[in-house]
Structure formats: C-alpha cells, structure tokens
Structure 1
Amino acid sequence: MVFFKNTLLILYLCVMVLACSKQEKISVVEEKDAESQMIEAFKEGYEEFENGDVLFAAKKFNEAELLFPQSPWAPKAALMSAYVYYSQDYYYDAEAELIRFIKTYPKHKDLPYAHFLLAICYYEKIVDEKKDLAPLIKAKDKFNFIIDTYPNTDFALDSKYKIDLIDDYLAAKEMYIASHYIKKKKWIAAINRYKTVIEKYEKTIFVEEALHRLVELYFTLGLKNESQKYASILGYNYQSSIWYEKSYKIFNKNYKSKTQLRKEKKSILKKFKKLFN
C-alpha cells in the first residue's frame, strides 16, 4: 500500500514537471511570436512612412509598441510614431505622442530628444505673434527646460538659438502693441511696452527703435531728463544707428544727418553745373 502511494506521488510529480515544462515552452513560443509580430509591425510602419502614408505608419508603430511593450524596441516605436506625425505637420498628434512617451519612459536615453522635438512642435505652430502668444511661450519654456536639464547636448545649443528667434517674435509683439497705444495717445501704456523690450529682449533688433521711442515719448510729455537719459543710452550703445540720429535731432532741431548733407551737396552741384550749360 505504501509502495502504491509512493508510485502515485512519483507519477504526479512527473506529470507536474512535464506540464510546467510544456507551459514554459508555450510561453517562450508565444513570447517569441509576439516579438516577431512587433518587429514585423515596426518594419511595416517604417516602409509606409517612406512611402508617404504617415497615418498608417503611425498606427503600425503604435501597434508594434503594444505587441511587445517590454521590448527595447517599444519606446523606439513610440518615438517613431511621434516623429512621423511631426514630419507631415500633424503637430497636435505629435505632441500627444511625445507627452505620452515622456510619461511612459521617464528614464529612456532618448528623453532629451523627445523634449526637444516637443519644443519644436510648439515652435512650428507659431503663425502670427500679433494674435497668439501661447505657442511662443510654450516653446520658450520647453527650450529653457532643455538648456537647464541637458546643458551639454546639441539640443541645448539649438535651443539657445531658437530662444533668440522667439525673443524676436515676443519683442515684435511688444512693439506692435506699443505703436497701437501711441495711435490712441496712451503714452504711459506705450512707454511700458517699450521698456519691456529693452529690459527683457535686449539682444533683439528692436532695442534701438524702442530706445528712440522712449526718447520721443518722454520729450513729448515734457520729461526732458528722462528723454535725455534714454538718448544717452542709445548714443552709448548704438551711436552709428539711424535711430540715434533721429533722437539726436529731437534735441538739436538744426541737426542734419550725413544723408541729408550728401543730398544738399548733390543739389548744389547740380545748380552749379547748370550755370555752365
């Protein structure tokens, strides 16, 4: 009887070992099958991307990620999905994919690139700085994040260049609003906008004009000391500028620029030549 029980136990253990072995084998086969499906979907997505079918390509990359999410190719598929949307100007779809990538793969080696591409998506949506500032502000915040977080990367260098361009847009916006206030004779409001340009966007091409406008406005308001202060700043930094000549003329009504003197010389020369014709 004891022998019979021992025999049954041995048989049971053998069956369990075989069952586990079979289950493990099936699991490995299924895993390999999922991986092969993922690779096939990835390849198909890339082929469709090259053929120009962006929407279907993005779908296949998403499919590849879902088929085998533990694979190192899964985050690559997610990033490719974002990039194919971006490549054809589907910026909102690209943004959604990139935001998801950043949340899903917070330690991935391509995270700097994901942040940079997201910033570029915001940047590419800048259409008219006079109407919508949201893309400008989002892009600048994201580029600053890249500079602070990944300072030693090529993305940081490119981000600095992009911020300079964004500052030009933002300064242009301030100049546009200031000129609108001048038309309405809202001098103080205009002054505040020009001050914003010289304080926040001192590296832009609009600083010289903003300084000159402050000279004009303060002079108009009878605040000559303030007017002279900004004229001095303009002269110290941009003495060869046409805006400095205009500011100088405010205080020296009889001042004639080099261009005006040349024109007068030409006019005198013409009159002189007529005497001998």
Structure 2
Amino acid sequence: MQLFRPICWVLILIFLSFCSKDDLEKNIIKENSLELQVLEAYEEGLKSLNEGDALFAAKKFNEAETLFPQSEWAPKSALMAAYSYYAQDYYLDSIAELERFKRVYPFYKNMDYVYYLLGLNWYEQIIDEKKDLETIINAKENFIFLIINYPNTEYALDAEFKVALIDDVLASKEMYIGRYYLQKKKWIPAINRFKNVIDEYDTTTYTEEALYRLVETYYKIGLIDEAKKYANLLGYNYLSSKWYEKSYILFNENFENKLINTIKKDKKNKKSFLKKFKSLFD
C-alpha cells in the first residue's frame, strides 16, 4: 500500500504535465488564430481607408482591436480608427477615439502622435475669431502639451507653428471686441482688451495696432501722458509702422489744431485792437 502511493503521485504528475502541455498548445493555436483574424481585419481597414470609406475602415480597425486587446496590434488599430475618422473630417468621432485611447493605452510609445492628432482635430474646426472659443483653446492646449512633453519630435515643430497661428486668431478676437468697445465709447473694457493683446499675444501681427489703439483711447479720454507712453513704445519697436505714423499724426494734428486756433484768436484780437485804435482818430 505504501509503495502504491508514490506511483499514484508520479502518474498524477505525468497526467498533469500532459494536460498543461496540451492546454499550452491549444492557447498558442488560439492566439495564432486570433492574430490572423486581427491582421485580416486590419488589412481590410487599410483597404477601405485607401478606397475612401472611412466609416467602414474605422469599424474594421475597432474590430481588430477588440479581437485581441492584448496584442501589439490593438493600440495600432485604435489609432488607425481615430485617423480614419479624421481623414474624412469626422472630427468629433476621431476626438472620442483618441480620448479613449489615452485612457486605455496611457503608456503607448507614440503618444506624441496621439496629442498631435488631437490638436489637428480641434485645429481644423476653427472657423474665425468671432465663433466659439472651445475649438481654439482645445487645439492650443493639445499642441502646448505636445511641445512641452515631446519637444524633440517631428510633430512638435509643426505644433509650434500652429500655436503661433492660433495666437493670431485669439489676438484677432481681442482686437475685434476692443474695437467694438472703442466705438461704443466704453473706454475701460476697450483698454483691457488691447492690453491683453500686448501682454498675452505680443508676438502676433496685432501688437502694433493694439499699441496704437491704446494711444488713441487714452488720448480720447484725456490721459495724454499714458497716450504718449504707448506712442513712445510703438515708435521704439515699430518706427516704420503705419500705426506709429497714425499715432504721430494724432498728436501732430492736435498741435496743428491748437496752432490754428491760436492764430485765429490772434487775428480776432488784432482786428479788435485796430478798431479801438482807429476810434481814437474819429
């Protein structure tokens, strides 16, 4: 009886080893089969994308991801689904895919591309400076994140260029509102908008005009020293600018008007004096 027990254990171990080996082989076959299905779905997605059917392509890429979530093809497929939507201007669908990607694959090696594509999706929805700011701000946030966290990538350079264009749009919006306030003689809100351009968007094409509008606004409300301060700043940085020329004319016109009024007053006084002088001889 004692001899029988060790033999039983040996037989059980042998049986288990055969079962484990069999299960392992089955798992390998299953994984190979899944990978083939993934590749097939992925290839179908690529073909549909090349043929211009973005929606079906995205569906096949999502299918490839779902079939084998643990494979290296899963994140690639998810990214391709997002790109498929973007390629045909389905921006909101692409953004949803990319936001999901960030949650599911936070450590993916090509996250720089994820943020770049997110930025592009928002950026290409920008219409003009008078529309909703959501697209502008979201585009800038994603590009800035990319520039800060992935500065040496090929996407960072283009992101910097696009951020400069976005700042131009934001500055344009500030100028648009500032001019409106100026027209309505709402001096303080107008000044605040023009100062925002100088403080936040000083590298844009609107800086010169913003400086001039500050000169103009301060001049109109009688704060001549403040007007001169911004006129000097405008002249120091943009001496050949048309906006400096306009500020110069603004002050010069005032001087000429004062001179003309003085001359008219002198002429009037002179006529009065001559009349009084002539009366002495009447």
Alignment of 1:76-225 (within 5 A): 76-225=76-225
Q: Partner amino acid for 1:182?
A: L
Report SS of the residue matched to 1:178: helix
* Comparing 13-22 and 180-189, the one that deviates more: 13-22
What is the CA-CA distance between 1:6 and the residue it aligns to? 6.5
* Comparing 146-155 and 11-20, the one that deviates more: 11-20
Deviation readout 1:9-58 (Å, 9 max, x if unpaired): 65555443333332222221111111111111111111111111111111
* CA 217–82 in structure 1, closer or farther in 2 if over 3 Å, else same: same
What is the CA-CA distance between 1:78 and the residue it aligns to? 0.9
* CA 21–221 in structure 1, closer or farther in 2 if over 3 Å, else same: same
Report SS of the residue matched to 2:244: helix
The TM-score with structure 2 as length reference comes to: 0.85
* CA 152–13 in structure 1, closer or farther in 2 if over 3 Å, else same: closer
Aligned length: 256
* Comparing 214-223 and 19-28, the one that deviates more: 19-28
Q: Report the Cα distance in structure 1 between the residues aligned to 2:206 and 2:13, rounded to whole angstroms.
A: 85
Report SS of the residue matched to 2:253: coil
What is the CA-CA distance between 1:180 and the residue it aligns to? 1.2
The TM-score with structure 1 as length reference comes to: 0.86
Report if the CA contact (8 A) 1:249-1:255 is conserved.
no
Alignment of 1:44-59 (within 5 A): 44-59=44-59
Q: Quote the RMSD (CA, aligned, Å).
A: 2.0
Report if the CA contact (8 A) 1:191-1:214 is conserved.
yes
Q: Partner amino acid for 1:65?
A: E
Unaligned runs of 5+ in 2: 257-282
* CA 236–22 in structure 1, closer or farther in 2 if over 3 Å, else same: same
Partner of 2:277: none
What is the CA-CA distance between 1:160 and the residue it aligns to? 1.2
* CA 26–232 in structure 1, closer or farther in 2 if over 3 Å, else same: same
Report SS of the residue matched to 1:253: helix
Partner of 1:263: none
* CA 13–203 in structure 1, closer or farther in 2 if over 3 Å, else same: closer
Q: Partner amino acid for 2:28?
A: V
Deviation readout 1:91-144 (Å, 9 max, x if unpaired): 111111111222222222111111111111111111122121111111111111
Report SS of the residue matched to 1:130: coil
Partner of 1:244: 244
| Structure having the higher Rg | 2
* CA 34–183 in structure 1, closer or farther in 2 if over 3 Å, else same: same
Q: Report the Cα distance in structure 1 between the residues aligned to 2:14 and 2:124, rounded to whole angstroms.
A: 66
Deviation readout 1:194-227 (Å, 9 max, x if unpaired): 1111111111111111111111111111111011
Q: Report the Cα distance in structure 1 between the residues aligned to 2:244 and 2:62, rounded to whole angstroms.
A: 59
